[in-house]
Amino acid sequence: MTYSSQWRPVALHEASRLPRLVVSRPLDFGDTLRHLMARPTHLFTPGWLSKVSGIPKATIVNWLEGRVKCPRSEGALRLLSDALRLNPAETTLLYRAAGIEEPARHDGPAAFDRIPVGLYRTTPEGRILYANSTLIETHGYRNLREYQTLDVAADLYASPSQRAAWMARIALAGTLRRHPVKAKKADGSVIALLDSATAVRDPQGSILYFEGIWEPAGPHTDTN
């Protein structure tokens, strides 16, 4: 099936004319992804899906056009599932189209919000894909929507150079534990935090995103 670069999301009044998902034959990943991007309540273009997932637009188009059969890592599938806001049945459909019978079990964002430490997922470019309520409140912001407008280096670090140094270290080590950070709040004040993070990579070794924890530093922690 050829994918047109002029594809657009279907308007709500056109939803009744959407083709039903065919289940009489095995669907390839591109077919399945296209169907999930065209749900009436959550319509996505490749560009918009790229923006909210952190996956390059060209990669998404390659999946849709069949030039690349499917993602080669479960991390990319998880990014797609979260960005598309899939329910459990839709997530399973996506994973099975990629050759994975069942997604790995993990609690969703609602459960993360109950954890009393700050959790985040960010891209190497500094976009915020996810943060829980604890982290958002720690920085003095109102909600995730507002928080996701920020640039990690410019808005959440007391000095953007800290982010550059952190990037260099985690790219080399893959994981950092209790790395001291001077973080900036919405009102401009500075707080001391400890950052524990992991770089999630694709099979070629490129970093897809970072997942980690920011927690308060103790009174004797050196954050210099």
Whole-number pLDDT of residue 81? 86
Mean of all residue pLDDT scores within the chain: 81
**Separation CA 88–CA 129 (nearest Å):** 20
Beta bridge partner(s), residue 193: 181, 216
- Looking at the fold, whether 186 and 114 belong to one and the same domain comes out as yes
Bridge partners of 212? 120, 197
- The yes-or-no verdict on residue 221 having pLDDT over 90 is no
**Residues 153, 159: Cα–Cα separation, whole Å:** 7
Amino acid at 200: V
Confidence of residue 3 (pLDDT cuts 50, 70, 90): very low
Tell which of 97, 125, 159 closes a domain. 97
Based on the fold, state whether residues 80 and 19 are members of the same structural domain: yes
Question: Residues 152-199: pLDDT tens digits?
Answer: 999 999 999 999 999 999 999 999 999 999 999 999 999 999 999 999
CATH number at residue 30: 1.10.260.40
Percent of the chain with pLDDT over 70: 79
- Report the first-to-last Cα separation within the chain, whole angstroms: 56
87-102 in b/e form (b: 16+ CB < 10 A) is eeebbbbbbbbbeeee
Do 207 and 139 sit in the same domain of this protein? yes
| 125 and 85 assigned to the same domain | no
**Predicted TM-score (pTM) above 0.85:** no
Residues 122 and 212 in one domain: yes
What's the DSSP call for residue 152?
I
CA 52, distance to chain mean position in Å, is: 7
- Choose one of 97, 129, 157: the last residue of a domain: 97
Q: Does the pLDDT at position 137 exceed 80?
A: yes
Is it the case that residue 6 has pLDDT exceeding 60?
no
Structure tokens at 141: 């912001």
Q: Among the three residues 46, 62, 97, which one is the final residue of a domain in this structure?
A: 97
Position 222 in a domain: no
Contacts of 221 (CB under 8 A, 6+ apart): 180, 192, 194
- CATH number, domain of 191, equals 3.30.450.20
Per-residue pLDDT, 113: 64
Query: Is residue 50 in a domain?
Result: yes
Does residue 139 fall inside a structural domain?
A: yes
Averaged pLDDT for residues 101-120: 67
130-139 CB contacts, 8 Å cutoff, 24+ apart? 130/82, 135/214, 138/183, 138/185, 138/191, 138/193, 138/214, 138/216, 139/183, 139/184, 139/185, 139/186
Could you tell me if 86 and 183 lie in one domain?
Answer: no
Residue 2 lies in a domain: no
Q: 208 and 188: one domain?
A: yes
Give the domain extent around 126.
Answer: 109-216
